[in-house]
Structure formats: structure tokens, C-alpha cells
Amino acid sequence: MMLENLLLLIVLLMAWFWIDTISKREIAIFTGRELASRYHLQLLDETVACKKISLARNSHGHIQILRIYEFEVSPDGRTRLACHIELLGKHLTSWDIPPYLQPEY
């Protein structure tokens, strides 16, 4: 009985983590799209990939999951710029878009 409860708990934790990861990826896609449009860039292929997952403390000292997502943007449709965002829980903690030249029209 104890082993069955433990297995059920593990399965439930895995399901929660999977659903949580999907929802945070949606936040990362939305945030990447917002940052790209703010700087007149195009989010390429909507490719937002989670590159790192770890634990970190928030401003209140509570431990949360820190996820680092990478994505690519383009100022002109040909050039690709590698960018990243960091989400602590569901909050954006940092982001990076490298410098680029504005396309001339």
C-alpha cells in the first residue's frame, strides 16, 4: 500500500511538472513575441526552446523553478539573432537581445 501511494505521488508530481512546463513555455513565447515587436524584430519560427531548468530564490526568499529559454529574432528576415529570457516561476527576471542594425527601408 505504501509503495502504491509513493508511485501515485511520483506520477502526480511528474504530471504537474509537465503541465507547469507547458504553461511556462506559453508565457515564454508570449514574452518573446512582445520583446521582438517592441524592438521591431520578427520572432523566427516561434522557436522558443527551454535550455536550462534549475532552482533559484525569488525576492522574498522562496525557492522557485528558474527556466532559461532561447529563441531567435530577425531585424530583416535574413539575419538571425540569438536571444534569451529567464523566467523565475512565471515572472520575467531578465532578457537579452543583442545589438543590431535597423534595416533601412
In a domain, 103, yes or no: no
Overall average pLDDT of the 38-50 stretch: 87
**Measured between alpha carbons, how far is 37 from 31 in angstroms, rounded to an integer?**
10
Q: What is the 3-state secondary structure (H, E, C) of 26-53?
A: HHHHHHHHHHHHHCCCEEEEEEEEEEEE
Q: Phi, psi (5° rounding) for residue 64?
A: -135, 170
Write down the residue that cell numbers 522557436 correspond to: 47
Return the ∠ at Cα 24 (arms to 18 and 27), rounded to 5°.
Answer: 150
pTM of the model: 0.83
In a domain, 105, yes or no: no
In a domain, 101, yes or no: no
In a domain, 41, yes or no: yes
Model pLDDT for residues 82-97, shown as the tens digit of each residue? 999 999 999 999 999 9
In a domain, 21, yes or no: yes
Helices vs strands, H then E, count in the chain: 1, 4
Overall average pLDDT of the 34-62 stretch: 91
In a domain, 32, yes or no: yes
- Say yes or no to pLDDT of 46 above 80: no
End-to-end CA distance of the chain: 70
Q: Show the domain range for 51.
A: 2-96
H helix intervals, the chain: 2-38
How many structural domains comprise the chain?
A: 1
